[in-house]
Structure 1
Amino acid sequence: MNSRNTTNNGALYRRFGVITVYAVFFLILVGGIVRSTGSGMGCPDWPKCFGTWVPPTDVSQLPEDYKTVFAVQGREIADFSPVKTWIEYVNRLVGVLIGFFVFLTLVFSFSYRKEDPIVTWCSFTAFVLVGFEGWLGSKVVSSDLHPVLITLHMLVALIIVGVLIYAVARSHKKELTYKDPHNIKTINKWLFGILMLSFLQIILGTQVRESVDIVAKSFDEQQRELWIDQLGWTFLVHRSFSILVLILNIVFVKHIFTGTEANHPSRFWSKVMLGLFGIVIASGAIMGHFAIPAFLQPVHLLLGSLIVGCQFYIALLVNHSKVLENTIAHDNKTFKQKNATA
C-alpha cells in the first residue's frame, strides 16, 4: 500500500511539476506585458496597491495629494491610470498564484525524499527562490524600476524555471530507456556555450527594453517610428548577435543528430528550439521595422525564455545516463546501509 501511494504521489508530482513550469513561463509573459505597457509603477507601493489590498478603479477614490502621498524616492508619481494599475496588480496576483503552485510542488516532492532526495531539495530551492523573487519585486517598485534590479528579476525567474525543469526531469529518469549521445563531451561543450550566449542575449534584450522605456518618455505614441533610431548600440548588438546565436545553435543541433539514436527525445526538442529561434528572430525583425509594436514585446521575451528552457532540458536529456547512474549508485548505497543496520 505504501509503495502504491508513493508511486501515485510521484506521478502527481510529475504532472503538477510540469504545470508549474508552464505557469512560471506564463508569469514571465505577464511580466513582459507589464513592461511593454509601462505599468511597472501602476502600483507605487508593495505589497498593497495605493495603500489597499484591492486597488482603486478611479482617481476619485484617491486623496487629492496622492502623487505626493505615494511618492517614490522623493519623486511624485505619474497621473493615476486604472488600466496600468490593474495590469500591475494582476501581475502580482499571478505571482502569488505561482507561489502556491511552487509550494504544492514542494509538498508533492516529499514522495521522493527517500528515493531521490535531490528532487525534494530542488523543489525546496525553487520555493525559496520564488520568495526571493517576490522580495526582489518589491525592491524593483521601491527603486522606481531600477534597470539592474529589473534585469536581476528576470534572471531569477529563469533560474527558477531551470531548477524546476531539473527536478521534474529527474523525477522522470527511471522511466527513460534511451542512451546518451556517443559524442557527449562535444555536445556538452556546445551546450555550455549556447546557454551562456542565450543568457547574454536575454541580458542585452533587457537593456534594449530599458532603452525603449527611456525613449518612450521623450517621444509619444504617435512617434513610435522614431524610437528605433534612438535606441543606440545595445539594440544593434542585440539584433546582430541573434544571427550568431542562431548559427551556433544550428551547429549544435547538427551534433545532436549525428550523435543520438533516431528515437532520442533531444532531437525533438532541438527542432522545437530551432522553431522558437525562427519565431523570435521574426518577431524581432517585425519590431525593428514596424515601430516596436507593444503587443510583440512580451511575446519576444517569452520566446527567448522558452529557448533557454529548451536548451536546459536538452542538456538534461543528453546527460540522462549519467544522472541515472548517480541515482542507481545512491539507491545501492542506501540499500546496503539498510541491510547493514538490519
Structure 2
Amino acid sequence: MASRDNNLRTECFRGPVSSVSSEGLSKRTHSRRPPIRMPIDRRRLLQAIAILGAICAYTTIVLGGTVRGMGAGLACPDWPLCNGHVVPDLGDPLVAVEYAHRLVAALTTLFLLGTFAVSVLWFRPDLRLVAFSLTSVGFLVAQVGLGALTITSSLDWVIVTMHLALGTATFASSLLVAFLALRPSSPDLLYRPTAE
C-alpha cells in the first residue's frame, strides 16, 4: 500500500509517467486522479510571521536609535511621505537611514497584522495568543501615531521618549507572541490536515 501511495505522489507531481508495454514500446499513461493537495502548515506559517514580526520590531528600534544618534529625525520632515515622495532621493545618508527606519516599521506593521489575522482565523481557541497578538497590534497603532507626532512636533523630547518606550513595548509584545507561537500546543489547538 505504501508503495502505491509513493507511486501516486510521484505521478501527481511529475505528470504522465512512461511505461513499457508487453511489445516493448513506450507509451504515456495519464492519471485521472487530481494532484495531491499539500495543506498549508498553519502552525509553521504563524511561527514564521510571528518571528519575522519580532525581528522587524527589534530592527525598527535599532534603526530608530541610529536615526536619533545621527540626528536624522527630521531628514524626512513630512509624514507619511519623505520629502514629498513615496521613495525619496537616498543620496543623503540621513534620508536613507530615516527612510530605512520607516520601511522596516512598515514591514513590522504587515507582520504583526498578519500574525493577528492568522491567530484569529486559525488559532482562536488559544486565547493567550489572540490576546497578545491584539495587544501587539494596539501598541503598534499607538506607535505609528507617535511616530507621526514625533515628526510633526519637530522632535519634542517627551514625544520622542514616549515613542521609544512604546517601541520597546511593541517589541516585547511581539516577542511574547513569537514565543507563544513556538510553544507546543495542546492537542485541541493543533491543526490537523484531513486525508483526501
- Asked whether the two chains share a fold, i.e. TM above 0.5, the reply is yes
What are the Cα deviations for residues 39-88 of structure 1, in whole angstroms up to 9, with x where unaligned?
00101111112222232468xxxxxxxxxxxxxxxxxxxxxxx2212221
2:39, 2:178 → 1: CA distance? 19
- 2:124 aligns with one of 109, 113, 119: 113
Displacement of 1:106: 1.5
What are the Cα deviations for residues 214-251 of structure 1, in whole angstroms up to 9, with x where unaligned?
xxxxxxxxxxxxxxxxxxxxxxxxxxxxxxxxxxxxxx
SS of corresponding position for 1:130: helix
SS of corresponding position for 1:45: coil
2:90, 2:175 → 1: CA distance? 39
Tell me, yes or no, if the aligned pair for 2:56 and 2:108 is still in contact at 8 Å.
Answer: yes
Tell me, yes or no, if the aligned pair for 2:150 and 2:159 is still in contact at 8 Å.
Answer: yes
**Correspondences of 1:20-99 after superposition (within 5 Å):** 20-56=53-89, 82-99=92-109
Letter in 1 for 2:70: T
Aligned length: 150
The residue that corresponds to 2:45 in the other structure is 12
- 2:180 aligns with one of 164, 167, 170: 170
Tell me, yes or no, if the aligned pair for 1:17 and 1:168 is still in contact at 8 Å.
Answer: yes
1:171, 1:52 → 2: CA distance? 37
Identity %: 25
The residue that corresponds to 1:302 in the other structure is none
Structure 1 unmatched ranges of 5 or more: 59-81, 176-326, 332-342
- 1:124 aligns with one of 127, 134, 142: 134
Tell me, yes or no, if the aligned pair for 1:122 and 1:167 is still in contact at 8 Å.
Answer: yes
Displacement of 1:38: 0.8
Letter in 2 for 1:112: F
4+ long deviations beyond 3 Å = 171-175
Tell me, yes or no, if the aligned pair for 1:119 and 1:168 is still in contact at 8 Å.
Answer: no
Structure 2 unmatched ranges of 5 or more: 1-37, 189-196
Tell me, yes or no, if the aligned pair for 1:10 and 1:109 is still in contact at 8 Å.
Answer: no
2:105, 2:117 → 1: CA distance? 19
The residue that corresponds to 2:144 in the other structure is 134
The residue that corresponds to 2:163 in the other structure is 153
1:123, 1:129 → 2: CA distance? 10
Q: Could you state the TM-score of these two structures normalised by the residue count of structure 2?
A: 0.67
Q: Which is richer in helix?
A: 1
